[in-house]
Structure formats: structure tokens, C-alpha cells
Chains A and B, each alone.
Chain A
């Protein structure tokens, strides 16, 4: 019974942390982008204000049931993936439901939200949404290939499909995967650019082309809920990457509050550093056309992924 209570408490805590961190990261990015653009920029908690504003819209429109459901699919995907991902390395305070975190499961669960969102966008009947969805799905086929290659390389290297085990192994050997298998890391990093949809891979909602694409018809509470889901999801993605390639939050098995806090800080530093990579790249690159983006993923990143697999086999 106590175990269950801790689990529920942990789940709630994890959710809150992921949401807050994700929102703040978004705010930091906006602030930093503004600074790079010679501007002062909004306050770092601007995303919270936006969210609150969107949620306090008094009228909302929906084009039907799937439109109504689209943000829900996204929330489900974000939270479920988060729940099945080890946040801290076996820490008592952040247990997750499945302690190991299965890679194949997460891989499939990650597309749940995109597809649900795509269905909602489809129901609006807006041609821009439909075109945006075709772009997004096509791009997904692009970046999933190098991503899965790098995952396979990791699985080969550690003979496990569990994220937990990969983390522990890294901590034991003391070498992060980004150094022990740089090729796989690079392939995954390129895939990450596609996942975060910053330039040059922001082809899905490209405003100048599709007027924000799939989310064209989403406003108010729907947009707000999507924003929440996206924030949680970006924290999930970052933590997944950190777990896989940067040894998670380090080797902390202490149950104490201080140790937990240190672990969280380490995790935040790592995730933020990682997050900056696609953001930096996004600042200075124009947008690809869809087929160029797909070909990009299938060229160098996939080649790196293959090398990564061979590297792991050797």
C-alpha cells in the first residue's frame, strides 16, 4: 500500500516537474532567441502566461470529436512515455511504473501523440492541416530511421533493451555513450533535430508556407493543452536522450533529499545543454523542403547510424 502511494506521489511529482521544466525551457529558448536577435525578449515565464491565457479563452471551437480529442492523445502520449521512462537512476522519489523503461515500447508510444494530433488536424478539413500532417508523417519516417539505428547500436552494445540498464552500465563503466559510441550518438542527435522541429526541420507548421499547418484550427483550450503536452514531451525526449547517451542523472542511489536534488540539478544541466544543440542549429538555418529533409535524414545520419551499429558489433 505504501509502495503504491509512493508510486502515485512519484508519478504526480514527475508530471509536475516535467511540465514546469518543459515550460521554462521553452521560455528560456524564447528569451535566448530574442537575445541572439538583438532583442530583450519576453520574460522567462512567458510560456506560462500564454498557457494561462489560452486556457482562459471563453469560447472555443471544435470541428468534431477527433478535433476535441487531439490534445488528449498528445497528453496521453506525453504522460505515458514519461511514466515508463526512468527519470532518476533508481531513486525512490521518482519511481516510474515500469522500472526498466523498454526502448521499443517507448519508440512506438512516442508516435501515439503525433498520430492522434494528426487525426484531430485531419478532422478540421483545413487543407493546410492535411498538408502539414503529410509533411510531418513523412519527416517522421525520415528521422526515425537514424534514431532506431542508434538505439539498436546501444542495444547491441549493452545487450539490453532497458533504459535503466543502459544508464547503470554507463555509470559503472564511467564512459558516456556519446563517447563510447559517438557515431550512434551523432545519428541520434540528428534525429533529435527532426524530433524537436526547430529549423531546418520546422516544415510541419512552417508559417510562411502553411499558416502553422496542423494546428491551424486549434485555439484556446485545445492549443493550451497541446502546449502542455508538448512541454512534457520535450522534457521526456531530453531525458530519454540524456539517459541513453549521457548516463542519466548520474549514479545516485541515495534516497536522501539532498542527493535527489543534486541528481535533479545534474539532470537539468544535462538536458538543457542537450536542448541547446537543436536550438542553436535552428537559429542559423533556413528551413528544408520536405523531401530534402527526408533525404537529409536518410543520408548522413543513417550512414552514421549504420557505422554506429558496426562499431557496437565490433
Chain B
């Protein structure tokens, strides 16, 4: 395929340089899976050699079944307009990941969020510990084993009346004695 030439080239270069797995997902998307220790060198390589100077995103997926976090680094190159996704997996226990805010300043924000939301430690990460939450003393909330409904029920007052799922408008029309048109009755929740 001709139109995927750039993508294949980049994939090949990185594959030969680091001996990692990878594939071309589609046009302008290249995906690489690497060990966590290789991440910063791959990022630096991509940034310096292939002009992937824009850090698009860092995201974390909780694979609780595997006992792992998947961290994805998404970087973008303004010259080829290509996106490179670098995936790595780290253990959920004592989760720790290399800090890359020396490569991109804005990585600091992502990492602070991940530290707060998933409890992943980034050694050497500066910045206040509280980024989004305040006085949070439970498990990091974005972990899949944190049950938000249970926490909400426990902490916040749950006003009764949610469970009956009544249509408020219907109730109001009933109160005012207004006649409910035929077509509306079709959608009524009371049946």
C-alpha cells in the first residue's frame, strides 16, 4: 500500500532501533507496544529524530483483570501529520512509571492527574499533590475497583424519589387536572 508508506517507515525505524512490537493501525496512526523502561528513550528518539514534538495525550487504562495499568503516550508530528501511539503496561501493585516532564512540560499535568486518579507514582514529579480532588483519603477513584455509587450513597444524602422514575411533567399535569393527550400516554412510564 503506497499511501501508508510514511507510517510503515516510521514503524520500521522504531522497530529496528528498539526491537519493539508495533503495527500500523490505519492512515496516520502507528501503534507501538514497548516495555516501560524503553518509553522515555522511544519518546526522545521520536521527538528528536522524527519531529514528533507534540505530546497529544497520555492516558491510562485500568486492566484490573490482568493486574496491570496500560499507559498510552500519544505523540504527533507536525511534519508528517502522523500520530504515534506508544503503549506500555505496568503492574497495578506499587504502580510506578518514569516521569517524562523533562521531555514535555505539559506531561506534568497528565502525570499529576494519573498520580491522583490511579495512584501511579512518578518519581521526581513536582507539583502539588492535589490536582483535581481535595482532601481525598480513599482509594484513587479512577481505579476500577473503586465503587463510585457505593461511595456516593455512603457520603452524600440521597434524596428519596429517584427510584420511582416518575415523569415529573406527568405528575404536574395530574396535579393541575390537565388532560394528557393520547399520543403522550404512549410514552408514559406508568404502566
Please tell me whether chains A and B touch each other in their complex, using a CB distance cut-off of 8 A.
Answer: no
